[in-house]
Amino acid sequence: MRHQERKVSMKRISALLLGLLMMVTTLGVQAIAAESIDINYMCIWAPDFVSPPQTARKVLLEEYKKAWPNVNYIDNSVNNEDYIQKITQLSISDDLPDLFMVNGALLSMLVDAEQIVPVSEYYKNRPEWQAMIPEELYNDFTYKGVAWCVPYQRQASTFLYWNKSIFKECGVEAPPKTVSELIEMAPKFLEKGYYPIGYGSVIPQQYNNCVLNTMMPCYVDDSFVVEMFDNRGPDKTFLDKEGVLRAYQDLYAMGAAKCFNPDICTITENEAYMLFAQGKSAMTGYGGWAGEWMVLNCDEAMLADGNIGVTYWLQPDESTRPADHYTVMAGWGWATNKKVVEEGGEKLEAVLDLMQIYTDNRYTQVAIQNGFTRVPVPVPEGTDLSGLHQIVQDYTALTDSASSVTRDTWYNVFKSSDFVTKVGMITQKLILNEITPEQGVQDLETAYQELVE
């Protein structure tokens, strides 16, 4: 009997102790949880992706983690090709990350859904950060007259990269400056089995970086896209038809002269890089990021002795811009979820700190250490860039010394990527010589009327 009573009391004591232990543990966990901050983060590079900006980002993140030891950093990033879809899905389910990248294609959807806030909210208590970022870069993120993202890059949308060995072998001295020069020299490359320009535009919008942003301002008196935007409306003339026609005639002529690889419309940008890296094309034409890809992926022989040259993209024979003209774009910017701003407090500060170190002058310094200069805060004059690869040095010198720069326009003007895709399709058909330039202008007008209506 006594034995049984003792057994019962032991059970009670054990239960009491267990209960106490559970309470202490719960309280402890709660205390720790109260201090820690979860930041869900998404960018256009999956954690294992290798690129100079990704490396720079990782360096800065380590510094950030030291400053914010209580931040639990959750990286849900996916690579560029899947990123827009992922953010679209998260936007629909109203489950956006705390910090993420946005481009013009996503902007209108996020703003219309009231899921992001104007960029002025970020700069409220950080005027020094705001002062560092050049105004021109907000063009990509301006919608309804308001800027919504902090620019992450400042880069040329299209430059021409050329392989000097191939040029020498084919007896061509310098890269073409105009469309006519390209058409004239194309047979020399084709004769030796090289594509004059290796380009991939399976996604029709890619043409627009080159055609709409960089070439069109050289054909029409004012910026092509801005003109369309300013004049939009069913009763208004929407574009300089003569200028567009001349541009389309040049595209058609380049297609007819086989200036591009024939599978241009079915290969990706990366596959076009491969054509260039494997020495199958004499030139390629992409933005500042292409040079970094080459430094990482071309073999040593190809990169040796400044073998890859960089210059401005082609111009029409009668251009409205000087020869050293290029279009500047940010492309991607940073934004936070509106909920984070509304919640405020320490989490908002933590998110803004992270956003700031990815865009301010510290980012510029780390970028240079990691071999690139496509950063929002310009490289200070007199900075020693000798540690960078020749391609990056040449690229930086060209962007710094250009006498004419057009601001990127198509992202922020044409939120409807349906229209932008249609413009890309017209360009595809012109390069394949499936439609005449006149038909191209007509199709463009039809697409524009559909957009306006």
Partner 1 sequence: MNGGIFTTKKRYIYLWLLIPVLFYIIFLIAPIILSAFYSLTNWKGGKGMRFTGITNYVKLSKDRDFLLSVQNNIWLMLLCLGGNTLLGYLLALLLSAKYLSLRKLYRFVLFLPVILSGVVVGYLWKMIYNEVPGLLNSLLNMMGLSGWTHLWLGDSKIAMTSICVIRIWKVIGMHLVVYLASLQNISTDVMEASEIDGATGIKRAWYVITPMMSGTLRVSLLLTITDSLKIFDIIYTTTKGGPANASSVMSFLTYRTAFEFFNFGYANAMAIASVLIGTAIVAVVNFVAHKGENQYGI
Of 262, 306, 322, 380, which lies in the binding site for partner 1, with binding defined by CB under 8 A?
262
Binding residues among 143-202 for partner 1 as defined by CB under 8 A:
202
Q: Which is nearer to partner 1, 347 or 422 (CB)?
A: 422
Among the listed ranges 27-35, 116-124, 296-304, 425-433, the one in contact with partner 1 (CB under 8 A) is 425-433
Q: Which is nearer to partner 1, 18 or 92 (CB)?
A: 92
CB of 307 to partner 1, least distance (A): 20
Any contact of residue 346 with partner 1 (CB under 8 A)? Answer: no
Of 155, 157, 213, 261, which lies in the binding site for partner 1, with binding defined by CB under 8 A?
261
Task: Identify residue 408 by its one-letter amino acid code.
Answer: D
Any contact of residue 305 with partner 1 (CB under 8 A)? Answer: no
Any contact of residue 266 with partner 1 (CB under 8 A)? Answer: yes
Q: Which is nearer to partner 1, 99 or 107 (CB)?
A: 107
Any contact of residue 109 with partner 1 (CB under 8 A)? Answer: yes
Binding residues among 354-413 for partner 1 as defined by CB under 8 A:
none
CB of 112 to partner 1, least distance (A): 4
Among the listed ranges 70-78, 311-319, 325-333, 428-436, the one in contact with partner 1 (CB under 8 A) is 428-436
CB of 280 to partner 1, least distance (A): 6
Any contact of residue 418 with partner 1 (CB under 8 A)? Answer: yes
Of 425, 436, 439, 442, which lies in the binding site for partner 1, with binding defined by CB under 8 A?
425
CB of 293 to partner 1, least distance (A): 16
CB of 264 to partner 1, least distance (A): 7
Binding to partner 1 by CB under 8 A, coded x per residue (else -) over 203-222, reads xx------------------
The three state secondary structure string of the chain is CHHHHHHHHHHHHHHHHHHHHHHHHHHHHHHHHHHCEEEEEECCCCCCCCCHHHHHHHHHHHHHHHHCCCEEEEECCCCHHHHHHHHHHHHHCCCCCCEEEEEHHHHHHHHHCCCCCCCHHHHCCCHHHHHHCCHHHHHHHEECCEECCEECCCEECCEEEEEHHHHHHCCCCCCCCEHHHHHHHHHHHHHCCCEEEECCCCCCHHHHHHHHHHHHHHHCCCCHHHHHHHCCCCCCCCCCHHHHHHHHHHHHHHHHCCCECCCCCCCCHHHHHHHHHCCCEEEEEECHHHHHHHHHHCCHHHHHHHCEEEEECCECCCCCCCCCEEEEECCEEEEECHHHHHHCHHHHHHHHHHHHHCCCHHHHHHHHHCCCCCCCCCCCCCCCCCCCCHHHHHHHHHHHHCCEEEECCHHHHCCCHHHHHHHHHHHHHHHCCCCCHHHHHHHHHHHHHHHHC
Q: Which is nearer to partner 1, 72 or 270 (CB)?
A: 270
What number of other Cβ atoms are within 10 A of residue 155's Cβ?
25
Closest by Cα among 263, 291, 279, 254 to 397: 291
Any contact of residue 256 with partner 1 (CB under 8 A)? Answer: no
Q: Which is nearer to partner 1, 341 or 350 (CB)?
A: 341
Interface with partner 1 (CB under 8 A), residue total: 35
Any contact of residue 445 with partner 1 (CB under 8 A)? Answer: no
Q: Which is nearer to partner 1, 219 or 419 (CB)?
A: 419
Residue 198 β-bridge partners? 284
Binding residues among 267-296 for partner 1 as defined by CB under 8 A:
267, 271, 274-275, 278, 280
Of 147, 265, 295, 314, which lies in the binding site for partner 1, with binding defined by CB under 8 A?
265
C-beta separation of 57 from 366 below 8 A: no
Among the listed ranges 105-113, 158-166, 216-224, 375-383, the one in contact with partner 1 (CB under 8 A) is 105-113
Q: Residues with Cβ < 8 Å from 352, sequence gap 6 or more?
A: 122, 126, 336
What number of other Cβ atoms are within 10 A of residue 113's Cβ?
13
CB of 425 to partner 1, least distance (A): 5
Any contact of residue 452 with partner 1 (CB under 8 A)? Answer: no
Task: Write out the residues near partner 1 by the rule CB under 8 A.
Answer: 84-85, 88, 91-92, 105, 108-109, 112-114, 202-204, 261-267, 271, 274-275, 278, 280, 416-418, 421, 425, 428-429, 432, 434
